[in-house]
Structure 1
């Protein structure tokens, strides 16, 4: 699955991936967009798309999740040049945490400075409902591992870096304004990173709630930390697709996640378009 150990990834290898992408696309993107589970239909909004399967990109990774398209799409959205990952990579697929820096570093090598991360998440906060959209203001990651473990690449960022404004406060305000313009009542809260692939137990959800988490998912945080290391501006949005384990007296299923994604696609797509249109 992996091309080689992450320790051997040089800046030149990231740049080789970026050069391949830029040659295929013919232009440099300004905004990066990562589409999570049940959100792949947003990729259809991109105009004049250039579609590149992940497997064709040198030194890149390959998605194994059935609901993820596993392709990079470059084109325009609301008049802005975008680079969209339709499908992402997860620790539970068998990658090491250190592997998960690759997509965001390649994005930056392509010219991206602002990234929008999206995901499907389960609601820990009992006032949330499926179909809600949550702006991530902070996260909890208690796994003990970091995607930035290993040799530091000074070309991307410092060995030790601040994450107090990881989810860029200025841009969170922009998202709230976009929601108001569309008549959407957005949530804002803390995302708990769980490694998966199993959904969480009711006891784990109770513990997460005590710690201050509002939603839980299996992605986004590794990408966010990589963006923070490189000083990139970041927006992260969770589509609440289900109530987390134990909140309701029913099991959590992947089918529920996909169904909520389909029902909420119009609102979520409208919000993404509004955000992109207002980014400088």
Structure 2
């Protein structure tokens, strides 16, 4: 999958067979079983100091470095302790119509409600954890859409430094961040569920439990597509009649035991990623 082929966020991007609007899945599990347990892919060896603000990219960095494992937690900014709610609400349809607006290819216009905050967090995680982030212009558009105005400049500066030719080389990509000939770069994040852990008149903190696909699909790939499981904690603020992201943290898991579904070939994986469009997530 090339950068333009990822359909993993908003109303979709690339050459998928049509984008689907759906409510946030309930209890969906990863179906890309592998004969071995895929590493969570979030090395704590040398990543914390270079990522700083944008922790969604730790999976991509670990993919490039392929070292270490564990359940380290990294802070993208000071969010303070999340306020525990009495009981988490299950991820289930609410009956409220999903958002119909969009900014670029990312859903927007989320309501100023707990449901709206959860929907915004899920869609923003998907946008930030997608292959278009490896293209400078597309990355700037994504950051400008999902981040609060006060956070945009710092995040873009961090990412422009991070996405260097050396980083692309470590990831098995060409110096411009595109996949080598005969390879398809796969980077897609799929929310499994959300819960709000804090909510006020103008701010919300939302946990988004995700699985993801990451790697290079193609014959002879030294970085095959694997899955990981991550939970993101996103701090949102109500800005300009929409929810925007102030900062976020991440930690590995919860990760289920790998299933017994045989791993598919590189060609089949690349075709599936290009052929299946992404979702707009709403409660």
Give the TM-score taking structure 1 as reference length: 0.29
Structure with the higher helix share, 1 or 2? 1
